[in-house]
């Protein structure tokens, strides 16, 4: 299988959280403060799954904000599971969404029951459509960024259809040192809250920053695929006051760069006349890039630095010879860009993406990759159905 352009190469890089840290992180009692907007059956089932992942000594509270703010469940130990489930079953949707007041009440309750030895997290269940109180994403960003200093993290789970505001969900989660996920099926709830529970809920590294410098003697051009909302200024990499993403136990972060090798003939932009390169002592001309990662331990305020040179011995000339995970990640990145209409992928078909995904699917224990492949093929069928209509419109 070939990538979108044989003259381009892919660089797949990313840190991962050691799953062995999960046991240590989970040993402390955790405070979960659920904030519920819609009392749908899907939402209730999802939180039942999450409850099964918590220890008896963990603490749970439920705040509702549909039609008004209220505490449906005062802080309760998970060992009292029947009480928690009873409250969960009685929840119902209705009325306007007082999101701002609900989030404030959530943080207040979490701080009152803060456990310095545990993981303290607000889990917001929402369709992202807050129509009362703070609704401006920038105002929400400022509010959540201020609240995270208390040590209470925020994760956002999106439910429902139609009103879902993904931008708002991402803004809240990123600034609350948490993650955002869309739960459209019970299977997805199983993935996020059970299969990936440790990565979602138990942080082992904070403010993780990745910086990649390419050797201009080897790489003529490059572009990072995705991460538009996570971009950092170069000057912010060494600044420990700048917030960045967190990594949970067993969590893997993937960054894919599309590069144009020097001398490949595929370079699109001319070199700068005065763009003379400078080489630091110890650098090797055979290096393709230099990777730097900064992170803080969960309780630390000062970051640690990891560096790694990427040499020619790590370059794989044949795309088909790459590991399954790297090729499959490339297919996912290509599909995402295809859906967004990115110009670099205009001549790359969904059929070609499906071929790469199919060949690199691997064991696929939980069937997630098969589900992705089905989506790609469905998109391809829709493209074929739309093509004759587009051609007809042009003829008219």
Tell me: the pLDDT tens digits for 268-298?
888 888 865 666 666 677 889 999 999 999 8
Topology, domain 27-201: Rossmann fold (3.40.50)
Q: Return the SS3 of 290.
A: strand
Helices (H), the chain: 21-26, 41-51, 81-90, 99-112, 137-147, 166-175, 186-190, 197-201, 324-340, 350-359, 368-395
Give me the DSSP letters along 313-330.
GG--S-GGGS-HHHHHHH
| 191 contact partners, CB below 8 Å, separation of at least 6 | 366, 368
Is residue 264's pLDDT more than 50? yes
Cα 133 to Cα 253: distance, rounded to the nearest angstrom: 34
Higher pLDDT pick, 5 / 160:
160
140-189 pLDDT, tens digit each:
778 788 888 888 888 888 887 666 677 778 878 888 888 888 888 888 89
Measure the CA–CA gap between 240 and 272, rounded to whole angstroms.
33
Q: Is 342 in a helix, a strand, or coil?
A: coil
Whole-number Å distance between alpha carbons of 57 and 60 = 10
Does residue 336 register a pLDDT over 90? yes
Residue 207 tokens, joined? 């403010």
Q: How much is the average pLDDT of 95-116?
A: 79
| CA separation for the pair 273, 271 (Å, rounded) | 6
The full DSSP string for 363-396 is --TTSHHHHHHHHHHHHHHHHHHHHHHHHHHHH-
| pLDDT at 329 > cutoff 90 | yes
Contact 357, 369 (CB under 8 A): yes
Of 254, 241, 250, residue with least CA distance to 14: 254
Q: Which band of pLDDT confidence, cut at 50, 70 and 90, is reported for residue 136?
A: low
**Which of the four pLDDT bands, split at 50, 70 and 90, describes residue 5?**
very low
Of the ranges 22-26, 140-144, 261-265, 346-350, which one carries the lowest mean pLDDT score?
22-26
Q: What is residue 365's predicted lDDT score, i.e. its pLDDT?
A: 86
Higher pLDDT, 374 or 71: 374
Is residue 352 over pLDDT 90?
yes
Show the tokens assigned to 27.
């040993």
Computed over every residue of the chain, the mean pLDDT equals 81
Number of helices and strands in the chain (H, E) = 11, 13
- Average pLDDT for residues 340-356, to the nearest whole number? 91
Please tell me what DSSP assigns to residue 149.
G
Residue 283: per-residue pLDDT: 65
Q: Which fold has domain 9-16+204-266+283-315?
A: Immunoglobulin-like (2.60.40)
Closest CA to 42 of 158, 201, 198: 158
Q: What is the pTM of this model?
A: 0.75
In residues, how long is the chain?
396
Q: What is the pLDDT of residue 345?
A: 86
CB 226 within 8 A of CB 333: yes
Residue with tokens 């199983």: 190
Residue 54 pLDDT greater than 60, yes or no: yes
Q: Average the pLDDT over 33-44 and give the result.
A: 64
| Domain chopping of the chain, boundaries | 9-16+204-266+283-315, 27-201, 323-395
**C-alpha to C-alpha distance for 156 and 36, rounded to whole angstroms:** 11
d(CA 179, CA 230): 13
Parallel/antiparallel/unpaired status of strands 59-64 and 31-36 = parallel
């Amino acid at each position: 299988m070939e990538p979108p352009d044989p003259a381009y190469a892919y660089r797949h890089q990313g840190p991962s959280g050691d799953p062995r840290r999960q046991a240590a992180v989970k040993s402390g009692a955790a405070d979960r403060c659920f904030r519920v907007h819609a009392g749908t059956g899907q939402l209730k089932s999802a939180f039942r799954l999450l409850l099964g992942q918590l220890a008896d000594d963990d603490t749970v509270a439920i705040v509702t904000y549909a039609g008004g703010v209220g505490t449906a469940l005062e802080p309760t130990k998970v060992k009292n599971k029947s009480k928690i489930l009873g409250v969960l079953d009685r929840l119902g949707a209705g009325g306007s969404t007082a999101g701002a007041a609900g989030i404030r009440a959530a943080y207040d309750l979490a701080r009152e029951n803060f456990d310095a030895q545990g993981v303290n997290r607000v889990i917001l269940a929402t369709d992202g459509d807050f129509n009362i109180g703070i609704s401006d994403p920038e105002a929400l960003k400022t509010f959540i960024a201020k609240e995270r200093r208390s040590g209470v993290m925020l994760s956002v789970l999106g439910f429902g259809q139609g009103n879902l505001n993904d931008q708002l969900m991402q803004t809240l989660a990123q600034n609350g040192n948490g993650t955002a996920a869309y739960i459209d099926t019970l299977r997805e709830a199983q993935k996020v809250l059970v299969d990936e529970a440790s990565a979602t809920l138990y942080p082992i590294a904070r403010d993780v920053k990745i910086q990649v410098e390419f050797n201009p003697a080897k790489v003529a051009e490059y572009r990072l695929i995705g991460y538009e909302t996570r971009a950092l200024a170069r000057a912010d990499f060494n600044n420990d006051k700048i917030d960045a993403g967190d990594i949970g136990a067993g969590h893997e972060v993937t960054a894919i760069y599309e590069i144009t090798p020097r001398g490949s003939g595929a370079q699109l932009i001319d070199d700068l006349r005065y763009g003379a390169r400078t080489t630091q002592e110890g650098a090797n001309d055979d290096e393709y890039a230099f990777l730097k990662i900064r992170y803080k331990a969960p309780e630390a305020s000062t970051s640690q630095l990891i560096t790694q040179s990427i040499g020619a011995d790590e370059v794989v000339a044949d795309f088909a010879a790459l590991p399954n995970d790297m090729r499959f990640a490339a297919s996912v990145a290509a599909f995402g860009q295809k859906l967004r209409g990115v110009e670099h992928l205009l001549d790359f078909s969904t059929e070609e993406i499906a071929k790469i995904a199919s060949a690199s699917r691997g064991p696929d224990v939980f069937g997630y990759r098969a589900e992705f492949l089905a989506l790609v093929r469905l998109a391809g069928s829709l493209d074929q159905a739309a093509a004759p209509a587009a051609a007809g419109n042009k003829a008219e």
